[in-house]
Amino acid sequence: MNTRRQFGAIMAGAALLPLARPAIAQPARLPDGPMRLVVPFPPGGPNDLVARVLAQKLGPILERNLVVENRSGAGGVVGTDNVAKSAPDGRSLALTSAGAIAISPALGAPMPFDAAKDLAPITLVALMPELLAVTPSLPVRTLAELIGYAKRNPGKLNFASSGNGSMPHLAGESLRAAAGIDIVHVPYRGAAPAVTDLMAGQVQMMFADMPAMMSQVQSGALRPVALASKERSPLLPETPTLAEAGQPSVEAENWYGLVAPARTPEPIRNLLHEAAARALKDPELVKAYGEQGARPVGNSPAEFRDFIVAETQRWGAIGRRANVTMD
């Protein structure tokens, strides 16, 4: 009887206690208001095209109005810096590129931000192969013929780029070293004027992101020689990779990655990554990127961070070996 009375008293007392409930993690939520995706280059370029397609898919997933904002300057550094210094609430993102967060710091350019400390990698968005093309007046059709011509005419071939220290510049320097040829670098302020002079024969060869030269290649105004990527492009199925053409050490793919301010809370970063990864699997996005020669990626933030480190080391070594300096 005593035992039963004691048990009853315990249960009666317990009934008066507040119910203990397990803690439930609240889902991450972006602050109200519009978001912006900063493109650190002028409208109409490859980076801008990739960003606008991504924004069309990412905005609805996040249930936010995602505005694309172009802030160009210093090879992508200006726009990327703007986001690095923005409020870390998940509403400011940048679709930056190799030049701004890997090549420029590797080559000692004055940087207003530290990519490793001031930016939070979200995901690698897309890879864009560099295409090597020549002016049609040059009597070559293959990489072997181009290298042979350069060796017979040392110092006579000019290769254009979109600027000192740009990926097209470093790709040309990489080919120069690997093939043992004497070619002269001619830097331009952007790809468009360089392509114009390439068509006119003022310069003879150039590496560039595929979209920068595809219409001219398709019209016959430029002649494709090789792709500096791991695999051929469906847009140019007959054009070999540099590895297939005998130069496996020359590989150059520009890339575009999504970053946020470094102090953005981890739950928000995870939310942004999950949304971006989902957007990059959208069939319409995959098709649109493919039409530009780009391949969507969508890796993890940790994988993207490791990728940035590896790219910084690789392009830094190529640039230092060729004594490349930034503008």
Instruction: With a cut of 70, say whether residue 327 has pLDDT above it.
Output: no
CA neighbor of 195 nearest in space, from 185, 187, 206, 184: 206
CA neighbor of 112 nearest in space, from 76, 165, 69, 162: 76
d(C-alpha 16, C-alpha 111), whole Å: 63
CA of residue 127 relative to chain centroid, distance: 6
Average pLDDT score over residue span 240-247: 96
Task: Give per-residue burial for 159-170: e unless 16+ CB within 10 Å, then b.
Answer: bbbbbbbbbbbb
70: enclosing H helix or E strand? strand 66-70
Q: Confidence class of residue 38 from pLDDT cuts 50, 70 and 90? A: very high
Average pLDDT score over residue span 94-113: 94
The pLDDT of residue 12: 43
* Rounded percentage of the chain residues whose pLDDT exceeds 70: 91
CA neighbor of 228 nearest in space, from 131, 109, 157, 134: 131
The pLDDT of residue 6: 43
The pLDDT tens digits for 251-268 are: 999 999 999 999 999 999
The string of DSSP codes covering 257-302 is EEEEETTS-HHHHHHHHHHHHHHTT-HHHHHHHHHTT-EE----HH
Give me the architecture of the 35-127+254-321 domain, per CATH: 3-Layer(aba) Sandwich (3.40)
Q: Confidence class of residue 18 from pLDDT cuts 50, 70 and 90? A: very low
Q: In terms of pLDDT, which residue wins out, 239 or 189?
A: 239
d(C-alpha 292, C-alpha 289), whole Å: 5
The CB density around residue 320, as the number of other CB atoms within 10 Å, is 12
The pLDDT of residue 7: 36
Contact in structure between 71 and 79 (CB atoms under 8 Å): yes
d(C-alpha 273, C-alpha 271), whole Å: 5
Residue 152, both tokens: 């017979």
The pLDDT of residue 263: 96
Residue 178, both tokens: 């690997």
d(C-alpha 327, C-alpha 315), whole Å: 16
Q: pTM for the complete prediction?
A: 0.87
Is 129-227 in the same CATH topology as 35-127+254-321?
yes
The pLDDT tens digits for 116-132 are: 999 999 999 999 999 99
Contact in structure between 95 and 39 (CB atoms under 8 Å): yes
Cα-only R_g, the chain: 25
The pLDDT of residue 325: 81
Q: Confidence class of residue 63 from pLDDT cuts 50, 70 and 90? A: very high
Give me the architecture of the 129-227 domain, per CATH: 3-Layer(aba) Sandwich (3.40)
Average pLDDT score over residue span 29-55: 92
Instruction: With a cut of 70, say whether residue 39 has pLDDT above it.
Output: yes
Q: Where are the domains of the chain?
A: 35-127+254-321, 129-227
The pLDDT of residue 27: 59
